[in-house]
Amino acid sequence: MFTISKTDVAKFSTELISEYQQLLEEKHFIYLETKDANFDWQEFTKLVTGEDFMLQYGKPIFHVKYEPELLNFSDARGKKRLLPHTEATDYPNPPKYLALWCKKPADCGGGLTTLAYVEGFVNTLTEAEKKKLMETQHYFGATIGVHASRTQGATHTILSYDGNKPTLRFSCNYITHGDYSPNPDNLIPFTPDPFLAEISDRLLKYFEENRLAILMEQYSLLLWDNRSMLHSRTTYNDPTRLLERIFLG
C-alpha cells in the first residue's frame, strides 16, 4: 500500500511518475490511497503506463456498481463473487492495464479486489502443459449468458511470453461455463474442454491460496498489468459501492 501527498499530486513530476513506473514494473500493480476526491487519477494512470484509454462497452469509463438485472450473476455489476480472469479475453487486443478508482467503498466491508501474479501459477504447470497452452489457438467469445455476442470474439493462445514475463488470457467462468458472467445458482448446461477445465480448477485453487486481497478505501486507485496479473472480486452487499474502471493500452 502506498500513499501520495497533495503536494506530490499537484506536481506529477517526472521523478514521481518514474518512481511509480518502476513500482508497476516490479510489482505489476500499484495501490495508492490519496484521500483526495480531486486526484487526477486518469492523468496519473496515463502518465505511469504511457498508454491511452481503450473503450469498454463503447465508453472510456465504466461504472462498477449494482445493476438490478445483474445482481445474481458473477459479474462486475452483480453481487456474486467473480472467478479469476484477465480482462477482455474476447477482445482482439485485451487492455495492457486496468485501473479502478474507488468513489465509495462497500459499507459491509466486502467487495475486495483480489490479484495474483500469473508467473507463480505458470510455474506449477508441466512443460507439456505450457507447450499446449502456448501453441493451441482457442476461441474466446460468449455465445450464451448476459454477455453473449458482446464482441465479435477473438482467437488466441492462452499462454505467451513478453520477454521473460508470462502473460495469460484466461477466464475461469468462460472456460468452465462458456459464459463470462454466469449465475452460479442457475448455470446453463455447457461442456468445457476437459484439458482447459482441469487447468481452470487448478488455477482457481492456486488463486485462492496465493491472491492478494485489497479493500480499496475511498479515493484510492488500483492499477495493474492485466496480462500478467489475474484478478477477481469477493462478494459484497451494498448497493452504494461505486468504482470507476478504465482500460489502458
Binding residues with Fe ion: total (CB under 5 A): 1
Best CA proximity match to 229, nearest among 132, 108, 87: 87
Q: Which of residues 180-209 bind Fe ion (CB under 5 A)?
A: none
Distance CA 209, CA 201 (A): 13
Q: Output the smallest distance, CB 86 to Fe ion, in A.
A: 8
Task: Point out the residue whose Cβ comes nearest to Fe ion.
Answer: 87
Question: For the residues of 114-140, what is the DSSP string, one character each?
Answer: EEEEHHHHHTTS-HHHHHHHHH--EEE
Q: Which is nearer to Fe ion, 44 or 62 (CB)?
A: 62
Q: Output the smallest distance, CB 88 to Fe ion, in A.
A: 8
Q: Output the smallest distance, CB 60 to Fe ion, in A.
A: 17
Residue 179 and residue 147 in contact, taking contact as beta carbons nearer than 8 Å: yes
Residue with cell 499530486: 9
Q: Output the smallest distance, CB 164 to Fe ion, in A.
A: 25
Three-state SS sequence of 34-54: CCCCCCCHHHHHHHHHCCCEE
Best CA proximity match to 78, nearest among 235, 218, 192: 235
Distance CA 5, CA 195 (A): 49
Q: Which is nearer to Fe ion, 4 or 99 (CB)?
A: 99
Q: Which of residues 70-99 bind Fe ion (CB under 5 A)?
A: 87
Distance CA 204, CA 215 (A): 20
Q: Which is nearer to Fe ion, 87 or 179 (CB)?
A: 87
Q: Which is nearer to Fe ion, 77 or 138 (CB)?
A: 77
Residue 178 and residue 63 in contact, taking contact as beta carbons nearer than 8 Å: no
Rg for the chain, CA atoms, rounded: 18
Q: Which is nearer to Fe ion, 87 or 244 (CB)?
A: 87
Q: Which is nearer to Fe ion, 56 or 136 (CB)?
A: 56
Q: Output the smallest distance, CB 82 to Fe ion, in A.
A: 6
Q: Output the smallest distance, CB 144 to Fe ion, in A.
A: 19
Q: List contacts with Fe ion (CB under 5 A).
A: 87
